[in-house]
Structure 1
Amino acid sequence: MHGQTLGDNLRRICRKQIEGAIAITTGEKKTSDTPVHEVRKHLKKARAALRLVRKEIGHGLFREQDRCLRDVARLTSEIRDAEVRLQTVRQLQGITQRRARGGYTKLEGMLILELENFMAAFAEWQTQAVPMLERAHANVDCWPLDQFNCKQLRCAVQRSYKGARKALARAEAAPTTENFHRFRTRAKRLWYELRILRPINPVVLKNLSDDLRAMANLLGRAHDLSFLADRLRGGNEKSEWEREGHKLLAVIEVSQGDLQRGAAELAEHFFAERPRDFGDRIASWLKDWENQTAPSLAEALVR
């Protein structure tokens, strides 16, 4: 294990993700996507590592660390929401134009203005975020994980699998936007955890991670549509962008349902296995990994 314990590796993963968020926030690292989106992805990966050791570090320390990372994400939530609405309209505009249904240029223009207003209103988010991220980074060293072992890691991943499986059952029993969003959140949490574990069985865990990513992407697109629809409803259709938005609602409703059904079909297959059986598979891979020279667990997210 290259002289590093499981606890060392998980601390290293979390630190690396926070460092990535700091580098983007300070402008040291350029990104292909928007800085806000990239920072939020780093935060989600850091929180995934944190959740794996939730029981071991204690409720108080977990809550403090998780709240700090969550608060950084909240600094950018309004900007990210506006980005998502604009991106979703642009995607729908491409689809509807191919089907000769016309464009939504007035609506797009309104959303561009809305995004610019949020960016101006929260222009200082980087200044606020950096000290919070630096504090979270320093606190990772306080995680008491010297005795953290493979059994505890297996139990943490199994809990995440079980939670996602239950959330899927609720979404299928009551297919509301809120229930599908909760399932997506749980599935993404498991996805990040399996990414961390990938070195213990690269081929199988890559396939499992890819399946979860496909599910999360479908549900993410469905949620983005619902989020946009909420913004478009309630208008009096007096302005041109409101009339365009009203026409778009029918397209959104059909597309959202298709995406949710597609994700549910994938999820039923993925989560057919009982949580204990899934945990047993993780345990067997961890045991094999422990008994051989293998890459650091941190490698999956560090390189």
Structure 2
Amino acid sequence: MAFKFKVGESAGKGIRRMATEQIDKALDEATDRSLDRHDTVHQVRKRCKKIRALLRLARGDLEHGDNVYKLENKCFRDAARSLSYVRDAEALLETYDMVIDIFARQSNRQRLGKVRDALVVRKQQVSEEEVSLDERIELFADTLREARTRVNGWPIGDGFESLAPGLKQTYRRGRKAMATAAETPATENFHEWRKRAKYHRYHVRVLRPIWDDVLDEWQHQVHDLTDDLGDDHDLAVFGQALSEEPARFDADRDLQALLGLCDRRRAQLQARAFPLGQRLYAEKPNHLVRRFNVYWQACRADLARETSKPGVLNPGVR
């Protein structure tokens, strides 16, 4: 099942269904021995991010009473974090390859090969120094199995009003993070913007069926933004790793050249992110929520008209 609401599906039913599906997919991936274990880590961590996006979307209801939001957000955050050391080592290698591919003419693959070799060794050492990766993945799976038993009890209402506060808060925080990054272009500010934008992207993605023709393109544009901001952060982490351990890479002059290429690429990505971000965050949060509410209600009205035709079973529209 796709990661989105079904047309006519209630807010609570849809959130619980999608969360359960993401948990099940993560468990399948965690126990699939045919997958490379590093690929497994990457996939299951993405599942946790999607689940946390669902929690944020429904936080208006989930923060009441026992504050299910706080409990579950911590659960999935900590589960993903327990595997982050593996992903971090893999990301350094991927970032090196990205830089070399982009600046193929300006870089000397043969001379810089020793940097890549050192990154491969680093990745292997990280895996060997930590507790067995298989053991960590099994502990991760145990956590998700337990969490799955709680999902059906998540107290989320049926209508758009159960989603509006979370949609608004996530969008508002992304808008604010963009302004902060523009005023103070520090690495941590761009990273914060990326995190907020990524949650908004998932929100648009799951809500896409309420007006697919419009929201499909919107989701793709937010995806482009988060990809650029994600690459920017990866480059920042990569540059920091090289700068902190120059002896490990044994390539003084070439290392400086590589760091220079990283800075050039970051400048390109940041320059491209702001015009797109300004378009995506042009609306005030209240206006965005009002617009999505209209889409939600219009979608249900359209479904009601279709199901009221003779011979068509009405599934119940909220």
Q: Please, what TM-score do these two structures have when normalized by structure 1?
A: 0.89
Aligned to 2:295: 285
Aligned to 1:109: 117
Q: Secondary structure at the match of 1:47?
A: helix
Residues 207-256 of structure 1: per-residue CA shift (max 9 Å, x gap): 11011000001111111100001101134558524553332111111111
Aligned to 1:298: none
Distance in 1 separating the partners of 2:253 and 2:74: 41
Distance in 1 separating the partners of 2:223 and 2:158: 28
Q: 1:43 corresponds to which letter in structure 2?
A: C
1:7-156 alignment, distance < 5 Å? 7-27=12-32, 30=35, 34-58=39-63, 60-99=67-106, 101-103=108-110, 104-120=112-128, 121-122=130-131, 123=133, 124-145=135-156, 147-156=157-166
Comparing 57-66 with 102-111, greater Cα deviation is found at 57-66
Residues 7-44 of structure 1: per-residue CA shift (max 9 Å, x gap): 01110011111111111111178589811111111111
Q: Secondary structure at the match of 1:272?
A: coil
In the alignment, which of 218, 237, 255 is matched to residue 245 of structure 1?
Answer: 255
Distance in 1 separating the partners of 2:97 and 2:249: 19
Residue segments in structure 1 that go unaligned for 5+ positions in a row: 295-303
Aligned to 1:275: 285
1:249-268 alignment, distance < 5 Å? 249-268=259-278
Residue segments in structure 2 that go unaligned for 5+ positions in a row: 1-5, 305-318
Q: Please, what TM-score do these two structures have when normalized by structure 2?
A: 0.85
Q: 2:116 corresponds to which letter in structure 1?
A: E
2:198–2:226 Cα contact (<8 Å) kept: yes
Q: 2:154 corresponds to which letter in structure 1?
A: W
Q: 1:61 corresponds to which letter in structure 2?
A: V
Over the aligned positions, Cα root-mean-square deviation in angstroms equals 2.3
Residues 49-92 of structure 1: per-residue CA shift (max 9 Å, x gap): 11112231236321111111111111111111111100111122
Distance in 1 separating the partners of 2:102 and 2:123: 22
Distance in 1 separating the partners of 2:15 and 2:294: 20
Distance in 1 separating the partners of 2:68 and 2:248: 52
**Count of matched residue positions in the alignment of Structure 1 and Structure 2:** 293
1:235–1:242 Cα contact (<8 Å) kept: no
Distance in 1 separating the partners of 2:168 and 2:220: 18
Which protein has the larger Cα radius of gyration, Structure 1 or Structure 2? 2
Cα deviation for residue 130 of structure 1 reads 0.9
Aligned to 1:221: 231
Q: 1:62 corresponds to which letter in structure 2?
A: Y
* Same amino acid, percent of matched pairs: 29
2:22–2:47 Cα contact (<8 Å) kept: yes
Q: 2:56 corresponds to which letter in structure 1?
A: R
- CA 1:237–1:30 in 2, change beyond 3 Å: closer, same or farther? closer
Q: 1:9 corresponds to which letter in structure 2?
A: G
Cα deviation for residue 189 of structure 1 reads 0.4
